[in-house]
Amino acid sequence: MSGGRNWRQRQQQTRPPTNLEDLVGYIAKSLVNDPSQVKVRQRNTNSATVIELRVAPEDMGRVIGREGRVANAIRALLRVADRHQQGERQRKHIILEIA
């Protein structure tokens, strides 16, 4: 039972991500074997928000997934989160770059 209790304590101590950069970092760190190697940077242009995700080379497959399914799922979550934050009218194109 102590394993479940520790998990709950960690979940309560972890604040939910409040922006797109934090969301990508949170998701990536939960997928990889070496969370200390996860680096996320956000750049804004006039028409798009570019989120650069860097992970250790051995974790690249985990983040991309078979046939890009994990990466596409992360992109879908980013679109939903962006709509929630910005509203439909102010929405920008979201680009996720994984390196």
**Domain with 74 in it: what CATH number?**
3.30.300.20
Q: Kindly state whether residue 1 falls inside one of the protein's structural domains.
A: no
Q: Kindly state whether residue 6 falls inside one of the protein's structural domains.
A: no
pLDDT above 90: residue 15: no
The pLDDT assigned to 10 comes to 55
Average pLDDT over residues 23-42: 95
Pick from 64, 83, 77, 69: nearest CA to 24: 77
Segments forming the whole domain that contains residue 79:
17-98
Confidence of residue 62 (pLDDT cuts 50, 70, 90): very high
The pLDDT assigned to 87 comes to 61
Domain count, the chain: 1
Q: Kindly state whether residue 51 falls inside one of the protein's structural domains.
A: yes
CA distances from 25 to 13, 47, 89, 90 (A): 16, 23, 26, 24
Q: Kindly state whether residue 79 falls inside one of the protein's structural domains.
A: yes
pTM score, whole prediction: 0.77
Q: Kindly state whether residue 7 falls inside one of the protein's structural domains.
A: no
The pLDDT assigned to 17 comes to 73
Average pLDDT over residues 9-38: 83
